[in-house]
Structure 1
Amino acid sequence: MTEETSARGAAAGGGPGARPEGRWRTRGHIPFPLWLCIVVVYPVASLLFRLRYRHLERIPVRGPVLLVANHVSVLDPLACARLVFDRGRIPHFLAKETVFKGLAGTILRAAGQIPVARYSSTARGSLDAARADLQAGNLVVIYPEGSVTRDPAWWPMQARTGAAHLALTTDAVVVPVAQFGPQRVHDYHTKKLHLRLRTPTDYLVGEPIDLSALRAEVRAGRPLDTPLLRETTDLMMTRVRHQLAELRGEPAPAAVHPGPGHPRRDGIAGSAA
């Protein structure tokens, strides 16, 4: 386990403290609304979390990336944004539509974040926006569970299939990420905020998932039906669960906790809260 500073050096292939390849230039032009987000998020994440990364170098510094992560807290985007930024990328999150209200919502939209109207027909437009973002070569963060896990022990719950749509209809590198720690600051289950500085927060970045065979089937005409989307979703989330087990040093339970409510048949996913 390495701290955030030495992890950035390891990502570069150099010694501790070295900058990862392209840390600044790969971020490209940063518009003013995004700078506003960075000015808020970066120091807050640094104060709240003592971030510890494993294999940060597995996140490509260029090209389209779909980062698939488990969801343990409403504060996940703060810590994950710092993770991605430390790798020299700009994260674009799919987040629930209620976050995009007022001035803050205007800034988030201008900063490239993507609202999701869950359980509605307009959710498909969110996937289209995320797909366009990936096709433009950006990095998109998605939480396939669609909401903070309801599992009492913080293991991933049943995921929706929106992430699978994106993974199968783009050429993005699909990177599974396990995280554990933000729930110690905000416990979604009890709705309690436990403000403390530098809470240990761990990330394990997995090897990219090879979806070439399934993508070839889709290009050959296989429909994006429920069995295919569920197969792809389970493949991604199994990787995340195994990484989380490694991160926590304990085996994942055999059963997967069910998600809340009754998801739409097309399984639109991806909110950041």
Structure 2
Amino acid sequence: MAGTTRSEKTVGWRLLSFIVIPFLLLVGRYRFRNVDKLPAGAFILAPNHYSNFDPLVTAYALWRAGRVPRFLAKASLFRVPVLGAILRATGQIPVERAGTTAGADPLAAASRLVDDGLAVIVYPEGTLTRDPQMWPMRGRFGAVRLSLEHGIPIVPCAHWGVQEILPRYSKKLSIFPRKNVDVIFGEPVDLSPWQDKPKTGATYAAATTAVMQSITKLLEELRGERAPLERWDPAEHGQTEFGRLEN
């Protein structure tokens, strides 16, 4: 892909890929669409999120596009033996839960990656969707804050089929037979209407709505059906557990 640098795929990353990719290929067949939509240099990839297996698939999609993925990951994962060491070694970014003061500002940490022209994956929903039919729910502000404050494009992404490998909220992997997983990238979301607006909650909310609409349209294409007109809002259902990048 144009603009991709070989230096991103370090020896450590390649060693990790030799472990992870064979497993991914064991459980799934992956079809990637619109890989050419990914810009050169820094960008934020904003995917839908409905399975705890999603990050592996999203990371693999970027790897196949010639890029190395970085995530904003729950800080608690960095304290897990072995996993924490891998996360630190691969430059992942710890995000503390709401109400905590430990750790660095994740937006500041992400901006350092942006300065180096790297790809950062941010799940705008902040957690697995609560929508009963697994459509994208109301988004949080982290992705658009990073985009508007640093002038970084947001590329929407949708995938479908991962739920057949690991259902939502489940810990039981379905390995055989191999499952079909489709991944599609979209055009960078046009956030220019909000670029020069005051950085307020209303601005972030409107921009986040545009991002979630882009993701939903891509998922509609993959699923071959229309999403509900009303987006699932966790706050209206008494579900308020989100990460630090909410608002």
The two structures share one fold, judged by TM-score above 0.5: yes
Native 8 Å contact 1:27 1:90 kept in 2: no
Q: CA deviation at 1:198?
A: 2.7
Secondary structure in 2 aligned to 1:158?
Answer: coil
* From 174, 179, 195, the counterpart of 1:199: 179
Q: How large is the Cα RMSD of the aligned pairs? A: 2.2
Q: Is the counterpart of residue 236 in structure 1 residue 211 in structure 2?
A: yes
What is aligned with 1:99? 77
- Summarize the alignment of residues 213-252 of structure 1 with structure 2, pairs less than 5 Å apart: 213-215=193-195, 217-218=196-197, 222=198, 224-252=199-227
Distance 2:172 2:116 in 1: 39
User: CA separation of 1:90/1:110 partners in 2, compared to 1, >3 Å: closer, same or farther?
Assistant: same
TM-score when scaled to structure 2?
A: 0.88
Runs of 4+ that moved beyond 4 A: 121-124
- Summarize the alignment of residues 128-167 of structure 1 with structure 2, pairs less than 5 Å apart: 128-167=108-147
* From 59, 63, 67, the counterpart of 2:38: 59
Secondary structure in 1 aligned to 2:105?
Answer: helix
Distance 1:161 1:169 in 2: 12
Secondary structure in 1 aligned to 2:108?
Answer: helix
- Summarize the alignment of residues 24-39 of structure 1 with structure 2, pairs less than 5 Å apart: 26-39=5-18
Distance 2:244 2:214 in 1: 20
Secondary structure in 2 aligned to 1:88?
Answer: coil
Counting aligned pairs with the same residue, the percent is 36
TM-score when scaled to structure 1?
A: 0.81
**Aligned residue type for 2:121:** V
Q: CA deviation at 1:33?
A: 3.7
Structure 2, gaps ≥5 residues long: none
Native 8 Å contact 1:65 1:138 kept in 2: yes
Structure 1, gaps ≥5 residues long: 1-19
User: CA separation of 1:107/1:193 partners in 2, compared to 1, >3 Å: closer, same or farther?
Assistant: closer
Per-residue deviation, residues 179-236 of structure 1 (Å, max 9, x unmatched): 1111111112455432224311111211111223422x15xxx2x2110110111110
Native 8 Å contact 1:160 1:267 kept in 2: no
Paired residues in the alignment total 241
**Aligned residue type for 2:224:** G
